Amino acid sequence: MSIFIKSDSKSAIKASEITTESDYLSRRDFIKKSGILVGATWAGGISLPAAAKSSEYGNDFPDLIKTTYGKGETLTSFKDATTYNNFYEFGTGKKDPARTATNFKTDPWSITVEGEANKTGTFHLEDILKHAQIEERIYRFRCVEAWSMVVPWVGFSLAEMLKRFEPTSKANYVQFETLYDPVQMPGQVRRVLDWPYRDGLRMDEAMNPLSFMATGIYGHHLPNQNGAPIRLVVPWKYGFKNIKSIVKIRFTEHEPACTWNVTGPKEYGFYANVNPQVDHPRWSQATERVLGSNFWAPKAKTQMFNGYGEQVAHLYKGMDLKKYF
């Protein structure tokens, strides 16, 4: 039942992170026996205190295709990934979304496509998902606040979806928008951010094979606090680019407005690529705190493009990344 799709690069994986053969074999065994997701086994091997347990996995996607993305990474525990969330629509505290998003209605859900594309209009989520090849990818996730986690996302390639809307030659950028519904999203009652939340990518960034639309994590449907029912995941950028609960996709000719960029243009750039050499004005981006690690664990070194340089560095060739941060 497990089809392995090879990601076209090994760059993200350090030699030290590669699982030994015996672990690998036992992993195959494990998958055959249990049919449970890939990441859990080697998480056990590295044995960090709060790493994900296989019991935390769901089986909401029976036809899930496993991939080799993030092979060897220690997964963050499901509990940590679902109780420590920046989702200001549901409150600005990290614990707020898990508490206040419980009754959020994500069904029915539709996405409006507009702007520079041939196939615009409003689409039901099921119709969008119908064409999608649902797969699992383990990605590192680096928040602009200098913490990080490793999450097994379930979803599909962003490029595959965008192509179906047939963007025109004028579509240089794509902008996404989160739902605006203060009745359901109590955080939107106060104007903490310029609602609705918006973010965007340059078209070539969006078309990069790494760019992903997630509908699940850890084999579960996406929990509300993690951006249900559908969200963006661009692992080489800071977390805030990974816009949640998307209701609108707009193809634009010019660089679109992005909420955090509008809120603090000196602190949050349009690109927001993970870059240990460009500090946030208020804190260093050279290191990151891995979620679930205890008091005595040192902070981890942050990698350029969050370690995905081989796949995405060419997108920024010739650009001054200190200026276009």
Partner 1 sequence: MVNRSRRVDQAKRIHQYLPDPLRYSKEIFKFGYVRGVILEAALKSELLMQLKLKFTGVFFYKPMVFILCLMPFALLVMNAINNELGPNPVEEMIRTLGDWGIYFLLIGLSISPARKILNQTWLICYRRMIGLFAFFYASMHFLSYIWFDQFFSVAEIVEDIIKRPFITIGFICFLLLVPLALTSTNRMMKRLKKNWGRLHKIVYPVSMLALLHYFMMVKADYLVPGVLLVVLSLLLGYRLVLKFKR
Segment lying near partner 1 (by CB under 8 A), choices 14-22, 51-59, 89-97, 151-159:
89-97
173 binds partner 1 (CB under 8 A): no
Q: How far apart are CA 270 and CA 200, in angstroms?
A: 8
Segment lying near partner 1 (by CB under 8 A), choices 9-17, 60-68, 71-79, 205-213:
71-79
- If the CB atoms of residues 33 and 282 are measured against partner 1, the closer one turns out to be 282
- If the CB atoms of residues 157 and 259 are measured against partner 1, the closer one turns out to be 259
What are the φ and ψ backbone dihedral angles of 149, each rounded to 5 degrees?
Answer: -150, 170
Q: How far apart are CA 129 and CA 132, in angstroms?
A: 5
Cα-only R_g, the chain: 19
What are the φ and ψ backbone dihedral angles of 123, each rounded to 5 degrees?
Answer: -120, 140
Shortest Cβ 125–partner 1 spacing (Å): 29
Q: How many CB atoms lie within 10 A of CB 294?
A: 8
Shortest Cβ 282–partner 1 spacing (Å): 6
130 binds partner 1 (CB under 8 A): no
One of 2, 59, 263, 277 touching partner 1 (CB under 8 A): 263
The Cα angle at residue 126 between residues 36 and 220, in degrees rounded to 5: 25
Site string for partner 1, 34-63 (x = CB under 8 A): ---------------xx-------------
- If the CB atoms of residues 3 and 189 are measured against partner 1, the closer one turns out to be 189
What are the φ and ψ backbone dihedral angles of 309, each rounded to 5 degrees?
Answer: -55, -40
The torsion defined by the Cα of 204, 259, 99 and 146, in degrees rounded to 10, comes to: 70
Segment lying near partner 1 (by CB under 8 A), choices 86-94, 127-135, 212-220, 314-322:
86-94
252 binds partner 1 (CB under 8 A): no
Distance spanning both ends of the chain, measured CA to CA:
42
Site string for partner 1, 183-222 (x = CB under 8 A): -------x-xx-----------------------------
**Which structure tokens are listed for 23?**
């672990």
The answer to whether residues 283 and 311 touch, using CB atoms and an 8 Å cutoff, is: no
- Taking alpha carbons only, the member of 219, 222, 234 closest to residue 159 is 234
- If the CB atoms of residues 9 and 287 are measured against partner 1, the closer one turns out to be 287
Q: How far apart are CA 24 and CA 19, in angstroms?
A: 6
- If the CB atoms of residues 295 and 318 are measured against partner 1, the closer one turns out to be 295
**Which structure tokens are listed for 8?**
């076209």
**Contacting residues toward partner 1, per CB under 8 A:** 49-50, 76-77, 79-80, 83-84, 88, 92, 94-95, 145, 147, 149, 190, 192-193, 263-264, 279, 282-284, 289, 291-292, 294-295, 298
